Amino acid sequence: MFQLEGEQRVCEIAGVPFGGQPGQYPTVVVPSIFQKGDRILEGRGSKKTFNEKLAEDLITTTDKLSKETGVPCMADIVANRGDEFRRYVEFFTSVSDMPFCIDAWTLKPKLEGARYCAEKGLLDRMFYNSLTVWEKDIEREVKEIAEIGVKHVLLVAFDQEDPMPSGRITGTQKLLDVIEKAGAQFESIFVDTSVMNGPATAICSMANKLIKEKWGFPCASAPSNGSYMWKEARELWGFKGWAGADAALEGIAAAMYHDMIFSGPMAGSGRVFPAIAMADAFAATFLFAETKKLPQTETHPLSKLFPDFKDQLTAM
């Protein structure tokens, strides 16, 4: 059965829907920008800046691909310090109306980024990336982002003692327990099931299925973590061979119980969006074959890119 048991939550950030049954809505792609090694960055430390022309080109190209394919997009804004978040978010929101998330490895800049978004009235289009099981002061973090007014949060679920899908269930429950203990409430909760390598993305897909059936939450992972770690592929087949493997992994994940895909650097949008669009059309057709139901939106890749085939399905 491709269709899931239990009621599935559909969340929305700045008009972009997430969740539901597989094939019901297109997968939301979340490419990163300003991450370490991004070609738009210039300088180091406190003198680090970025090339605004290159950054705008990346964002507008990605936005164009999203509109052409019907695959929704959010940006993963990565920073190491609060002042970086302020510069990056200010620039991003000046050139795009896309939703976005703030992403940092440590707590202090994440909180500073969230506060800045609150000051600028951006919390409706921002989600917090992320609450993790390994954060030592997780209860304080939950309380602080609730006080700031954060509406949308991502839970990164993992259990170091259990690498199987069941460990992601355990990790999700631990974070939900902290949220309940802190008395916090959020409009949207998403779960990222932690990719460890390329093939292990299958474990994330299975974990996503179990989490969606247990709680109904929209689920995600970052297949790009696996493909970008696979250095041997570039050595064996060069960039084109590696890029094909990356696009395949992103597409397979999208078709298998992922409501959202963290796709890696925004520079890869040219291969990722067409791959996800085909995967979404595949998943929607799979769901139709099982249930005779078609996607909810006219901008879904099945409708946008294969209208004649959708008309054939509708007539069946």
Collapsed DSSP state (helix, strand, coil) of residue 192: strand
Q: Which amino acid is at 73?
A: C
Is there a domain that residue 302 lies in?
yes
Is there a domain that residue 144 lies in?
yes
CATH code of the domain containing 94:
3.20.20.20
How far apart are the C-alpha atoms of 154 and 222, rounded to whole Å?
A: 13
- For the chain, how many structural domains are there in total? 1
Is there a domain that residue 6 lies in?
no
Name the average pLDDT for the chain: 95
Q: Tell me: the pLDDT tens digits for 237-284?
A: 999 999 999 999 999 999 999 999 999 999 999 999 999 999 999 999
Instruction: Read off the tokens for 97.
Output: 């109306």
Q: Tell me: the pLDDT tens digits for 93-147?
A: 999 999 999 999 999 999 999 999 999 999 999 999 999 999 999 999 999 999 9
| H or E stretch at 40 | none
Q: Tell me: the pLDDT tens digits for 203-215?
A: 999 999 999 999 9
How far apart are the C-alpha atoms of 123 and 127, rounded to whole Å?
A: 7
* pTM confidence score: 0.95
**For residue 55, what are the domain limits?**
24-314
Q: Tell me: the pLDDT tens digits for 220-247?
A: 999 999 999 999 999 999 999 999 999 9
User: Are 260 and 28 spatial neighbours (Cβ–Cβ below 8 Å)?
Assistant: yes
Is there a domain that residue 207 lies in?
yes
